[in-house]
Amino acid sequence: GAVVSQHPSWVICKSGTSVKIECRSLDFQATTMFWYRQFPKQSLMLMATSNEGSKATYEQGVEKDKFLINHASLTLSTLTVTSAHPEDSSFYICSARAQGSSRNTGELFFGEGSRLTVL
Amino acid sequence: KNQVEQSPQSLIILEGKNCTLQCNYTVSPFSNLRWYKQDTGRGPVSLTIMTFSENTKSNGRYTATLDADTKQSSLHITASQLSDSASYICVVKGNNRLAFGKGNQVVVIP
């Protein structure tokens, strides 16, 4: 079946540095990808919708200059956490919907997630 | 208030036993409802997708039901296995947006 890959699966960084997380659809094209963050025992919170070839759409309260999203191709979206701080520590997950799938029942595939720890 | 409420928040069951997880939603208009299994530290994996006209859908030992009139869904796990220990997330699509529940945390013990 379709697979969405995230890299890195975990990262530890110092406060003030920037971290890039990649999300790739391995065997299908995705014009739209989604980025979420998840705190322990909480539901996934949509951060932004990544659109291939155009600017991402951010959810209310999510700083676009803090969380840079680039959807450079139909199989790759990246999330860069700029000037990371300890409060940015979280589990970041991406998802993608296969192009051409039914809008009503289209399968949404999630990546394995990336655990970010900012010291 | 969250548009998707799941209960119980967590439960512990003995291996081999059955359990039922509940999902109530207020999302409207309704497009579809999905159940995902999320292992600790991993991404969610789809179990079932149900549309308005579907009442029951099975995937192995997982059976999902949907009552679109009362806006309720359940996920039944039959003959639980240790590998069923995970968070089960109910996701409802409406207005081209997804609403996520907080998940049912299931722990299966031998």
CB contacts of A44 in chain B (<8 Å) are 44, 89, 100
Q: Which residues of A touch B41 (CB under 8 A)?
A: 91, 113, 115
d(CA A67, CA A96) in angstroms, rounded, equals 18
Nearest to A42 among B36, B98, B102 (CB): B102
CA distance B78 to chain A (A): 24
**Cβ pair B42:A113 closer than 8 A:** yes
- Cβ proximity of A76 and A62 under 8 Å: no
Output the CA angle B78-B90-B83, nearest 5 degrees. 40
Out of B43, B98, B101, whose CB is closest to A93?
B43
Render each residue's pLDDT in chain B as its tens digit; 110 residues: 679 999 999 999 999 999 999 999 999 899 999 999 999 989 999 999 999 889 999 999 999 999 999 999 999 999 999 999 999 999 999 888 899 999 999 999 99
| A6 to chain B, closest Cα gap in Å | 10
Tens digits of residue pLDDT in B56-84 = 999 999 999 999 999 999 999 999 999 99
Tens of pLDDT along A40-92?
888 899 999 998 888 899 999 999 999 999 998 889 999 999 999 999 999 99
